[in-house]
Structure formats: C-alpha cells, structure tokens
Amino acid sequence: MKFNNIQSCHLGPEISPEQFIPEHFFLFLLKGSMVAYDGYRHYTLKPGDYCIARKNHLVRYTKYKEDGDFEKIIIAFDEPFLKKFLERHSYQAKPTDNDDSFLFINENKLIKNYIQSLEPYYNGTEQLDGQFVDIKREELLMILLKNNPDLKDIFFNFNVPHKIDLELFMNHHFKFNISLERFAYMTGRSLSTFKREFKSIFNTTPGKWLLNKRLQEAYFLLDKEHQKPTDIYMDLGFEDLSHFSFVFKKEFGIAPSEVGKLKV
C-alpha cells in the first residue's frame, strides 16, 4: 500500500506499506485505476471514485497507471484524530454488520467542492502546515458524516477485532504476507492462543501450513492456469522470486519454470 507519486495529496499519518490497513483512510483517485482484493472480494476503483478504506482489514492492491501516472488523494483518519474529534462533536457508534473493506462514497456538491479546495496542494503550488492538515481532515469528516450518518458506526468503533473463525479466516487469507502476530490480532487472539488453536485445527504449525498452502496454490496456478512464476510469487506471499523458486523445488523436486514441461 505504498504510494509515492508526487502529484498526489496525503493528509495525516503515513499509510502502512503492509497489506494491512491500520487506520481508516479516505481515497479519491485522480488518475489511473486500482483493483483491491481482501481475500473475499475484489474492489475496482476508477478515476473520480471516492471510498473509505477500513482499518483492521487485509487488502492487496494492484495499481494501473494512466499515461504513466497514478494520482490520488489520501486522507487518513487515525484513532487519535478521531477521538479528539469526538471531544468536540457528539456521535455515538453502534455495532454494524457491514464488514466491507472499502465503502464507496457517492459524489455530491460538498465533496466535489472539498476536493477542488485541495487542488493547490496536490498540484504542488501550495504546502499544508500541520495545524491546517487537521482542519482539512475535520472538514472532510464532517462532510462524510453529514451525507452518511451511518459512517459514525465505522469511524468511531475503537474496539479491537473480536474472535472469529480461525480456519475460515486462514483459508481466505493465506496468500497475504503478514506476520503471525498480525494474523493473531486479526482473528482476535493473542499470539500464544493463535498458535495453540491453529495446531489443534490444522495439526501443524502456522509457518509450515502457510508455506505448504502457498506452494500447493502455486503448483495449481502453474500447472492448470499456465501462469508464469514471475506473475504469481508476490501474490502468494513470497517476498522474492529466488526464495520462491528454492522452496518450490525443495517441495516438488522441479523448478517452477519446469511445471508442465514434463508432460507428454
């Protein structure tokens, strides 16, 4: 989730490069498109789309440039900022069943005018100081809540993830390259409880299971889907091609590039 294009506007704390959303953020695409996948569904964002990316979700992004550019506006709503906002404004959150990783926002005059007000900052003609950043963030938050009051149940829910079905979650998210500590947090468990329950369900350790699961998926994609090793290793949670090739050959006795070539 690393965005570096200088023709962009980013207000608030930096967004983590991990495949984990640690804080809510507002995203508006100016140029280019993006497809995000959270283990359950794909979300497609096109130029002109507004959305809220929700914290405590795992998401993988694929960016597509337009004429060599990918431009966006990101405005982070971190927990300290939201709690300070609540000190001045009265909102009461209630539980919600909506667990979508992205919430799309319909365009209206207020949001459109707000984005236009940021133009001097994302085209590089002006600089925002720290105090004004929070003013602009608060302005946007008030606009979003005015147009969709139910967003209060998203923004002002400061609970940690609750305990969920570990087996179901891992089978949906084994491709994500995150730490065991993060997997434990996402499933509402301490690391020790996560490891203990994982062993009772899968009869092996999380590390061994994740590696085997990723390698089995890799073999299927290479053999049945005829994909290339260079196209799949990162999507399966491997950090580099050489490591992927090494563990694949150790498991199956052949290099990833040789899969399918031995068939008559």
CB 47 within 8 A of CB 31: yes
Q: Are strands 9-11 and 71-77 parallel, antiparallel or unpaired?
A: parallel
Give the pLDDT of residue 132. Answer: 83
CB 34 within 8 A of CB 5: no
Q: Burial-class residue 242 by CB neighbours within 10 Å (0-12, 13-18, 19+).
A: exposed
For the chain, the domains span 9-155, 166-258
Give the pLDDT of residue 121. Answer: 72
Which CATH number, 3.30.70.100, 3.30.413.10, 2.60.120.280, 1.25.40.10, labels domain 9-155? 2.60.120.280
Total residues found in the chain within this entry: 264
In angstroms, the CA 70 to CA 63 distance is: 8
Give the chain's residues under pLDDT 50.
1-7, 264
Give the pLDDT of residue 62. Answer: 87
Structure tokens at 143: 């606009």
CA distances from 30 to 34, 71, 73 (A): 11, 5, 7
∠ CA 185-189-195, rounded to 5°? 100
First to last CA, the chain: 43
166-258 falls under which CATH superfamily? Answer: Homeodomain-like (1.10.10.60)
Per-residue pLDDT tens digits for 209-244: 999 999 999 999 999 999 999 999 998 999 899 999
- Per-residue DSSP letters for the chain? -----SSSEEESSPPPSSSEE-SEEEEEEEESEEEEE-SS-EEEE-TT-EEEEPSSEE-EEEEE-BTTB-EEEEEEE-HHHHHHHHHHS-----------SEEEE---HHHHHHHHHTHHHHTTS----HHHHHHHHHHHHHHHHHH-GGGHHHHT--PPPPP--HHHHHHHHTTS---HHHHHHHTT--HHHHHHHHHHHHSS-HHHHHHHHHHHHHHHHHHTS---HHHHTTTTT-S-HHHHHHHHHHHHSS-GGGTTTT--
| Topology alike, domains 9-155 and 166-258 | no
| 75 DSSP β-pair partners | 11, 26
Give the pLDDT of residue 13. Answer: 60
Give the pLDDT of residue 126. Answer: 57
Give the pLDDT of residue 12. Answer: 62
